[in-house]
Amino acid sequence: MFSVAEATARVLATAAPLPAEQVPLTEAAGRILRADLTADRDFPPFARVTMDGIALAHAAFAVGLRTFPLEATQFAGEAPHSLRDPQAAVEIMTGAVLPPGTDTVVRYEDLTIRSPTAGSRIATLNPGLVLTCGQAVHRQGADRQAGDVLLPIGTRLSPAALAVAATIGSASVSVTRRARVAVVGTGDEAIPFTENPLPHQIRRSNGLMLQALVQQAGATADVFHLPDDADQLRQALPALLKGYDVVVLSGGVSKGRADLLPTVLREAGAEEIFHEVAQRPGKPLWFGQYPGGAVVFGLPGNPVSSFVSAVRYVRPWLRAASGQAPAPSEGAVLTEAVTFAPPLTYFLPVRLVSGPNGQLLATPQRDGGSGDLALLLTADGFLELPAARSAFAPGAVLPLLRG
């Protein structure tokens, strides 16, 4: 039986980046870049005025000048006016190009403008004003230079990244194609959730849960349900194994007589990479790969087992296959003593709160076991309690798996 670390390594070893595709930037939110995006111009592309006011030459101020005739008014988006008289100034707006011949901007609050004759305007600086050469000017290339890689391969297109891509004119971008996932529920006890169950039946819920989970991770997901019947499984599985990047099954991987999937998957040509992981919940986890086709996660059917296994193994696979670097690891502080004796990694459901000293505090939630679906409603995530230890004291810092 594999440890969680071994299982993780085997899962991630199968995750090569999926093919790239070109999409318009307007449809690229959340997608993962497959080519560096470089600055086509300096950032900013010109000496950019950052306040509304007047632009002047600091040298004129330095020799004592405090009154400046205004040669022009220049708005953002206009070609720059070149200062003709070095002792004059240009009225200027935020976002405009700094007029050639000027180097410093004085904001409106620090001056008054009067109009002694029709058509003439003169700005007078406030008494005692201190003026730094270059003030209120964002100089060309101050932030980034033309040719700099702004968004490297593997970047997720966040709102800010989209803005940067737009600024450099990336009207379309190369991104990783979304993973295509088949989510397959099993279990004859589970009827569609739109129907009324008999007393011994339950409604299906894992399909919807797993679909939402993989969609959050950027994949597309179709949901299927297959009966606990070897013939029907044998008939249905090949198309899924060939047609999808990932097949996520839930249920049917344990030791019961209805747990047909490990056998049927092998018969269908999927190669088993591991079956069973030293963890709770989720010990019966099955993982394999169809040569030239899908990777296959056989998640235990209990809702909490399915959820934890999807978050712990499927989500990192999808992230790796998207071309992103692994998520940075995160720790949280256990607030109560916990004992867990079996030699298994225990995923302890916890509620998270940001503590007064900036620590992330994790409080264990009542754990009704792997069938306790409602437990997931009060848990923000799981602490990963290593198999090698059984007693965990309050204050222990442990790896966090967010839900």
Residues 334-393 that bind a copy of itself (CB under 8 A): 353-361, 368-377
DSSP secondary structure of 209-261: HHHHHHHHTT-EEEEEEE-S-HHHHHHHHHHHHHH-SEEEEES--SSSTT--H
What tokens were used for 41? 């111009």
Site for a copy of itself in 307-336 (CB under 8 A): 307, 328-333
Q: What residues have CB less than 8 Å from 396, skipping those under 6 apart?
A: 333, 334
Contact with a copy of itself (CB under 8 A) among 16, 63, 64, 79: 79
Q: Does 198 bind a copy of itself (CB under 8 A)?
A: yes
| Selected binder of a copy of itself within 209, 226, 247, 261 (CB under 8 A) | 209
Question: What's the DSSP call for residue 82?
Answer: P
- Under DSSP, the state recorded for 311 is I
33 near a copy of itself (CB under 8 A): no
Closer by beta carbon to a copy of itself, 46 or else 340: 46
Residue 252 contacts residue 186 (beta carbons within 8 Å): yes
Contacts of 129 (CB under 8 A, 6+ apart): 66, 106, 110, 111
d(CA 169, CA 146): 13
Rounded Cα–Cα distance for residues 107 and 89 (Å): 12
Considering only residues 21, 143, 231, 271, which one is a binding residue for a copy of itself as defined by CB under 8 A? 143
| Window contacting a copy of itself (CB under 8 A); options: 120-128, 181-189, 238-246, 291-299 | 181-189
> Is residue 126 within the footprint of a copy of itself (CB under 8 A)?
no
Window contacting a copy of itself (CB under 8 A); options: 14-22, 126-134, 158-166, 236-244: 158-166
Of 10, 46, 276, 363, the one binding a copy of itself (CB under 8 A) is 46
Give the C-alpha separation, 69 to 91, whole Å.
10
What is the C-alpha radius of gyration for the chain, rounded to an integer number of angstroms?
Answer: 31
Assess 66 for contact with a copy of itself (CB under 8 A): no
Q: How far is the CB of 52 from a copy of itself (least distance, A)?
A: 3
Q: Choose, by CB under 8 A, the member of 1, 21, 22, 26 that binds a copy of itself.
A: 26
Single residue of 11, 15, 44, 384 touching a copy of itself by CB under 8 A: 44
Task: Work out how close the CB of 242 gets to a copy of itself at its nearest, in angstroms, rounded to a whole number.
Answer: 26
Q: How buried is residue 191: exposed, middle or buried, by Cβ count under 10 Å (0-12/13-18/19+)?
A: middle
Per CB under 8 A, does 147 bind a copy of itself?
Answer: no
Size of the site for a copy of itself (CB under 8 A): 110
The SS3 assignment for 174 reads strand
Binding mask 260-299 for a copy of itself (x = CB under 8 A): ----------------------------------------
Select from 200, 291, 292, 326 the one that contacts a copy of itself (CB under 8 A): 200
Answer yes or no whether residue 160 interacts with a copy of itself by CB under 8 A: yes
Q: Is 97 among the residues that bind a copy of itself (CB under 8 A)?
A: yes
Torsion angle of the four alpha carbons 188, 192, 198, 202, in this order, in degrees rounded to the nearest 10: 70
Q: Which of 129, 163, 325, 337 contacts a copy of itself by CB under 8 A? A: 163
Distance from C-alpha of 158 to C-alpha of 17, rounded to nearest angstrom: 20
